[in-house]
Structure 1
Amino acid sequence: MIVNETLKIIQQRRSIRSYQEEQIKEEELQVVLEAGLYAPNAGDQAWHFTAVQNRALLERLNLAAKEAARQMPIEFLKELGNNDHFNCLYGAPTLIIVSGSERAPMPLDADCAAATQNLLLAAESIGLGSCWIYFVLMAFDSPQGPALRRELKIPVDYKPYDSVVLGYKRDATVHVPERKPNLITYIR
């Protein structure tokens, strides 16, 4: 079996939902962001990363997302929106929002997803915990959405597609569940 550092990182990366309060180092943030810039794309790199480390703004994003969730027709989301103990950012000190140009010639959701995966793998490779978060993006559908977009300096004609939280893992050991069987079909 072929084994190398990249494959080990892919196999050990897990979604972390419990973080230490300490902010990540600037050098770590820059390494993760640069990895996102090197993701595969349709050729125009029409994405934009917004790194948020302001605690008050992170809390406002959490509350706005919960407000929007309460208006959704999906019961599970309503329950999370009404849960006073739920924080959609899991207390992480850093959030990266990945936005894509709505004027790009190709659909940007795949490009933004590839960039997001690079962010996650880079974080794991340098010992940071991370989690791909969709819930917080509902903040942009709340009444505060337009003001939040301006405050976050998301470029005009860009849509937030994905987001990642980063921080130091609260627990050092992470359980790696077995992979489900029969998920691959070979046709040779």
Structure 2
Amino acid sequence: MQTGFNNETLKNIKQRRSTRSFKDEQIKDEELQAVLEAGLYAPYAWEYSRHFTVIQNKELLGRLNIAAKEAARQMALEHLRELGSNECFNCLYNAPTLIIVSGDEKAPVPIEADCAAATQNLLIAAESIGLGSCWIFFVLLAFNSPQGTELLKELKIPDDYKPCYSVLLGYKNTATVNMPEKNPDLITYIK
């Protein structure tokens, strides 16, 4: 499905793909701030319903990976148990930056929607400035591990906020972009 429009925003949306192979180099502070600013400007139903936690400490990222895998080994879903038991699997794909988007559980609106909008903005902003990104769930399992409560405190996630989504950021190891055509049958028009 092609449109007659050709602008940078639509191009970035179309070419953004999940990156699972990152260079070791940490992203620049200006790049991080640009991505976070895009997250802050995402639409919301309740202005203070979300919070961003940025982790760039390698040791802490390693502990989050270990805790998430420990929790995954206890899950009912076999696929998660297998990933948790795989010594070679790193749920953060060795990305140098992780952003956790948390929602205020006391907000009078569904926090997941506000957090998802912010997460999408983070991903598109990252693509627009040449960063690789990946929206991941697995690392959030760390908060279900025995260390979960301590990790919430160590990450300074505000009281009454629940980690909803997370985004990996870094420089892409590969520049290949595959923009497959999307199925137009997913759209119904009623005029």
TM-score scaled by length of structure 2: 0.96
What corresponds to 1:23 in structure 2? Answer: 26
Following superposition, the deviation at residue 73 of structure 1 comes to: 0.2
What corresponds to 1:139 in structure 2? Answer: 142
Letter aligned with residue 77 of structure 2: I
Does the alignment pair 1:74 with 2:77?
yes
Residues 73-103 of structure 1, C-alpha deviations (whole Å, 9 max, x = no match): 0000000000111111111000000001011
What corresponds to 1:7 in structure 2? Answer: 10
* Aligned partner of 2:88 among 85, 88, 93: 85
Q: Unmatched 5+ residue regions in structure 2?
A: none
Following superposition, the deviation at residue 2 of structure 1 comes to: 1.5
* Aligned partner of 1:178 among 178, 181, 190: 181
Following superposition, the deviation at residue 19 of structure 1 comes to: 0.2
The 3-state SS of whatever aligns with 2:186 is coil
Residues 12-49 of structure 1, C-alpha deviations (whole Å, 9 max, x = no match): 10000000000000010011001000000003231100
* Aligned partner of 1:121 among 121, 124, 128: 124
Pair 176,2 (structure 1): closer, same or farther in 2 beyond 3 Å: closer
Letter aligned with residue 68 of structure 2: A
What corresponds to 1:51 in structure 2? Answer: 54
Residues 134-159 of structure 1, C-alpha deviations (whole Å, 9 max, x = no match): 00000000000001001000000000
TM-score scaled by length of structure 1: 0.98
Residues 102-141 of structure 1, C-alpha deviations (whole Å, 9 max, x = no match): 1101010000000000000000000000000100000000
What corresponds to 1:40 in structure 2? Answer: 43
Letter aligned with residue 42 of structure 2: A
Following superposition, the deviation at residue 65 of structure 1 comes to: 0.4
In the alignment of these two chains, the number of paired residues is 188
Runs of 4+ aligned residues of structure 1 deviating over 2 Å after TM superposition are: 174-178
**More divergent stretch after superposition (24-33 vs 41-50):** 41-50
- Structural RMSD (CA): 0.8
What corresponds to 1:165 in structure 2? Answer: 168
Does the aligned pair in 1 maintain the 2:73–2:85 contact within 8 Å? yes
Identity over the aligned pairs, expressed in percent?
70
Q: Unmatched 5+ residue regions in structure 1?
A: none
Partners in 1 of 2:179 and 2:82 — Cα distance? Answer: 28
